[in-house]
Structure 1
């Protein structure tokens, strides 16, 4: 059975070189700037900028101090993602199995395909020539596993650098290291072992079955570990992947977690890591290229009026309804303003989508002008087919539409555009006899209205709160007067009791007082309160107020 061969393509300067392709006049140092927290940092830099000392993750102010001739551009994340998708289509010429690794890498399953290009070395040369023609920098690696190919693409030819933490014997004085090497045979037996210098990996292609040897000289960061784990390994003197291969797996898992062992097994092929490129999802998007830049809200709205009917027609033809609509306004300075609106129900009705987009237009900063508008249904759901009905069914459907069907959905969509869809909730019945647990809160946009609410045996108050102590005689009979919230109340009428027992299988702090007897108490000021007497199985007995009727 033939071995799998995986190709990893990494484009370390994707963002900067994408802009350089679009702006041919830019020939000097170029950096792409993005927001990170409350600070602007460099997210990508071309070769000239990196040669001048600019690095990814560096604050923009420091980058300008290092390179006075540096030209910066704002990051356009949607354009970078689209460019990576286009590169995925280009990589399809080498194999039909291509998957994206956002934000700047591709993975190709080359099994049974490399011989069509004269072998893996010839294939690498073809890829490099194509990328050079496109003005892109590429680093690649080929191995039996995805983890090994990923490591070779990013770390081939790099040795494990020193980490002066003071915890490794290699960092001690030369005489100390010499004595330590001679002392090893005292405990192991035999002569002192000779420690050859660790080789530095230079090959970007690991021959079939040789992933172990190709990974050994690479730094531990090549295993796709988080920064904290890498720093901890370096402090212990475990700098290379080969330093981990001879360690007991159980000890590594206890010290660093199962993630380290899992990544190591993936790189060596012990744990499968399949490449499953999904079929390209059907995209519903339209765009409008403007002959002159625009900046007014009315102009943007006019562009939406031209694009939205076309988008809704495509959705209707495919039987899909939009649940989220994204509007992208691409400015003349290569930046993009993006706003997203959500709908309570999937729809292809332009009259329901347009008001939601109009509410979001104030958040768009036109800058020096907008020269391209793009409208996309970011999330879609199937819409049920319609069928012809008689007059009685039609009248019932119209009544439902205007009594709370689509009208309620439109209201939820409008409110959600302002405060967020998750902030709008509705209650659904729950399976519990405890008063405060008889309903559960669900997001209104992703749930249907509750149709059948179970009717309790006794009335329930409209407002419930956590039980509040009531000053009254500690006897089960309802009091004639009591003190609550600092006020004295005279009892005019009582109704009850209704006995409610706690859920014995759950430990609820509010119900540790045991069985309760609930009473509807009407005060002299015509306040209808819901009082209960706690019999005090686990806590002291007494009266409490739990709610108020409307």
Structure 2
């Protein structure tokens, strides 16, 4: 692990500078990106001009406007910032193939064996600074032997550990702690500071190999990537610098602050491994068709789809994936685009199943003065596997027939979903519970498979179930000869039962606080068949209730 070299890139103004890149002439005006947190708008990112005005990240917007009247605010777009960081990750791939995103505003790069291709680490950092300056981005960097040390140097190099309480700068730890900490921080005395040079507004920080302990010791404990609560607890005990923790017994730290503190400390010092897992490039499937002349008829659009769709399905089939949702873009001659999306109930790469769904959406496309380019893209795909029938001949035929029926149902769900939305189509699925109203659950039809079979109930169950409704009858377990329900008087003709059902004792269900129930199938003289039960009380009063009706 001593031979590893890790580069950490931190973009402290990522959100604000992403907006400034698209706003020409707005660099001179202070800009703040705000987001809703705890029913209050706070600042999440600041431009350089806003920071020069004394504003800080995490500050309420109302206080920021009071300090800077010319402040311009923009709502935070978290997905756009994530997409921008992903684009920066692809840019950083020029330095090493091992690049990963970090904390939503930074990148971590494994430079092992790659720095010499750029003339060394210092020359590589010059390339990083030049590229970021051309992109209009502020960057702080750190190179060390471990990801934790590089992260700490990039964000906290030159930052002094502040006392926990306000007032003077007198150390407030106990004398015994201060005396022990002085002996344990012997490696911080003497020696050269880590390499620091200022070029183009960014600070280079390169930790020489094997000197992580010396460089990290004077940094605040927050540089270990700890949560704010743990950092505050350490500060109240006088442990403000990483060097204060290096000589402490690990068992005591783990007992008081948890294993997370010790793990972060070991990762920063190289005692515990911390691999870098680069993000895999997402599977992307898209085809386009450029037209020699603009088109506008539905028949012409279908002809274009018939040319693109087989190629797209062939790409999906080669990768063993199926399309779950697709997007059709129709680019018009006036530089605008008409976009429609379709979804499938089951992922697939069969053009015959996808084409009818696209055809149903063509009426939503306004051709305007003509369409000059079509593009078909898979927005979401899932892996699919070929199914093979096994067993005896008859069993195989039955499986094939069931799969064929299910495929037809999927096509029906897909067609209905194209009209009313896939999320509105649901199906009942059996559930494992002896409680009558919990024997079935509602699932989305497009994201669930139909049940092979429904388990047969041990006793007769009503076709319709509703919440228990009170029945006017004597408070006694015997079935009443006459009772009143829903404003009508009913006379008993026949009763079968009882079936005793107990509540789930491991759950506190408010609907079953009536305790044990005795269910009866009651036939009235009017011919109605009802499902009555007598609740034995529990935490509620006892009595008769009606919960269902038979067809």
Aligned to 1:269: 270
DSSP 3-state at the match of 1:400:
helix
Instruction: Mark the runs of 5 or more structure 1 residues left unpaired by the alignment.
Output: 291-297, 331-335, 363-370
Q: TM-score, normalised by structure 2?
A: 0.70
Aligned to 1:295: none
Contact 2:30 2:49 in 1 (8 A): no
Shift of 1:484: 3.7
Alpha-carbon separation, structure 2, partners of 1:416 and 1:483: 44
Contact 2:185 2:243 in 1 (8 A): no
Alpha-carbon separation, structure 1, partners of 2:385 and 2:158: 54
Aligned to 1:159: 160
Aligned to 1:406: 411
Shift of 1:43: 5.9
Aligned to 1:480: 481
Contact 1:219 1:239 in 2 (8 A): yes
Equivalent residue runs for 1:273-352 within 5 Å: 273-285=274-286, 311=312, 314-325=315-326, 343-348=344-349, 349=351, 350-351=354-355
DSSP 3-state at the match of 1:212:
helix
> Among residues 91, 95, 101, which one is paired with 2:95 in the alignment?
91
Contact 1:97 1:109 in 2 (8 A): yes
Residue deviations 1:149-168 (CA, integer Å, cap 9, x gap): 111112212223x46xxx64
Alpha-carbon separation, structure 2, partners of 1:446 and 1:252: 47
Alpha-carbon separation, structure 1, partners of 2:243 and 2:179: 21
Aligned to 2:202: none
Change (3 A) 1:229 1:108: same
Alpha-carbon separation, structure 2, partners of 1:256 and 1:186: 17
Aligned to 1:496: 496
Residue deviations 1:376-406 (CA, integer Å, cap 9, x gap): 523433264799xxxx999968983796331
Shift of 1:530: 0.4
Q: TM-score, normalised by structure 1?
A: 0.70
Contact 2:325 2:341 in 1 (8 A): yes
Alpha-carbon separation, structure 1, partners of 2:273 and 2:114: 21
Aligned to 1:523: 524
Alpha-carbon separation, structure 1, partners of 2:43 and 2:94: 27
Instruction: Mark the runs of 5 or more structure 2 residues left unpaired by the alignment.
Output: 197-204, 292-297, 332-336, 367-372, 390-396
Q: Which moved more, 1:316-325 or 1:59-68?
A: 59-68
DSSP 3-state at the match of 2:87:
helix
Aligned to 1:380: 382
Aligned to 2:446: 445
Alpha-carbon separation, structure 2, partners of 1:16 and 1:428: 48
Aligned to 1:543: 544
Change (3 A) 1:379 1:229: farther
Shift of 1:346: 1.3
Shift of 1:76: 4.2
Contact 1:497 1:518 in 2 (8 A): yes
Alpha-carbon separation, structure 1, partners of 2:377 and 2:466: 46
Change (3 A) 1:117 1:374: same
- Asked whether 1:120 is paired with 2:125, we answer no
Residue deviations 1:342-384 (CA, integer Å, cap 9, x gap): 543214454465489789999xxxxxxxx99894523433264
Aligned to 1:220: 221
Change (3 A) 1:245 1:545: farther
Aligned to 1:333: none
Alpha-carbon separation, structure 1, partners of 2:445 and 2:432: 20
Change (3 A) 1:462 1:413: farther
Change (3 A) 1:476 1:503: closer
Alpha-carbon separation, structure 1, partners of 2:276 and 2:269: 16
Instruction: Give aligned pairs, total.
Output: 517
DSSP 3-state at the match of 2:69:
helix
Aligned to 1:367: none
Alpha-carbon separation, structure 1, partners of 2:69 and 2:274: 44
Aligned to 1:29: 28
Equivalent residue runs for 1:172-187 within 5 Å: 177=170, 184=175
